Amino acid sequence: MRKFYSLSLLGVMAVFVFGFARFDGKNEKTPAAKSATAAAFSSYTTITVVDGGTVTGTVTYASTAPVPKKLEVTKDVAVCGKEGHVDESLVCSANKSIKDVVVSIKGIKQGKAMETLGASFVLDQKGCAYRPHVMVVPINKPVKILNNDGILHNIHTYSKKNPPKNMAQPKFKKELTATFAQAEAIPVKCDVHGWMSAWIIAVDHPYYAVTDANGKFTIADVPAGTYTVEFWQEKLGTQTKQVTVAASGTATADFTYPAAK
């Protein structure tokens, strides 16, 4: 009997010690299991960039510029059919320059402040089209999603690293907000109007640009050094090239995408 009590006492003490070990604060989750926000920000350091350089260039297409496909308006025609809609997944000018290519300096660890990307970020829904079609947004910064159409829209993000969002936006709800904690290229669709599409590029450093209608881009205040410049286009994929930036200098990073197969 005395042996039984001894064993029981040892069992109670073991449970007590185990429980204390779990809740004494020394057994918390590792930093890798905590918020991705802190991890993302810790990988990029803001510094004062002295004699920063510039990366600039033009992105073009190797083949004949494709004619954008017309998209059929199948719902809310009175509002959505006022203007023609075309597939914006690959928009080229007559001289083959490509619009909406995301250009970035890959893996840069320090440099200018995230605030240089802008103070506010807006994705508008007007005429049943997203504007802009491609936008760069810092992680953890709110994106205002506007509904200027006076009809029901539904914002659906098909993210992989961030939790997907599926938000109804009726006509009386003029503004919604969304934030993204991890860097990734996020497709956006409207479940009500299937032809509507856009991309939110959530980023964890500020060295990004989106090419304009002439395929041109500029990334400023780059610390001197040799970098990999990355080009991403939703239909043509990702390509890279190396560039060396001199102090206070300008490096040209023109790029031509091969024709899609």
Check whether residue 102 and residue 7 sit in a common domain: no
Check whether residue 110 and residue 179 sit in a common domain: yes
Q: What is the pLDDT of residue 29?
A: 38
Phi first, then psi: give them for residue 14, nearest 5 degrees: -65, -45
Residue the block writes with tokens 């073009």: 60
Q: Which parts of the chain have pLDDT scores under 70?
A: 1-42
Check whether residue 86 and residue 31 sit in a common domain: no
Q: What is the pLDDT of residues 47-79, one digit of tens each?
A: 999 999 999 999 999 998 889 999 999 999 999
Give SS3 for 71.
Answer: strand
Check whether residue 135 and residue 200 sit in a common domain: yes
CB-based burial of residue 132 (10 Å sphere; 0-12 exposed, 13-18 middle, 19+ buried)? middle
Buried b (16+ CB within 10 A) or exposed e, 190-221: bebbebbbbbbbbbbbbbbbbbeeebbbebbb
Check whether residue 140 and residue 91 sit in a common domain: yes
Check whether residue 152 and residue 253 sit in a common domain: yes
Q: What is the pLDDT of residue 42?
A: 53
Count of domains for the chain:
2
Residue the block writes with tokens 């080009």: 231
Check whether residue 8 and residue 75 sit in a common domain: no
Check whether residue 62 and residue 83 sit in a common domain: yes
CATH number at residue 191: 2.60.40.420
Check whether residue 106 and residue 23 sit in a common domain: no
Q: What is the pLDDT of residues 218-237, one digit of tens each?
A: 999 999 999 999 999 999 99
Domain range holding 16? 2-42
Q: What is the pLDDT of residues 98-109, one digit of tens each?
A: 999 999 999 999
Q: What is the pLDDT of residue 144?
A: 98
Check whether residue 28 and residue 62 sit in a common domain: no
Tokens matching residue 161: 């690293």
Q: 179 near 21, Cβ under 8 Å? A: no
Q: In degrees to the nearest 10, what's the CA dihedral of 169, 170, 171, 172?
A: -90
CB-based burial of residue 124 (10 Å sphere; 0-12 exposed, 13-18 middle, 19+ buried)? middle
203/46 Cα distance (integer angstroms): 15
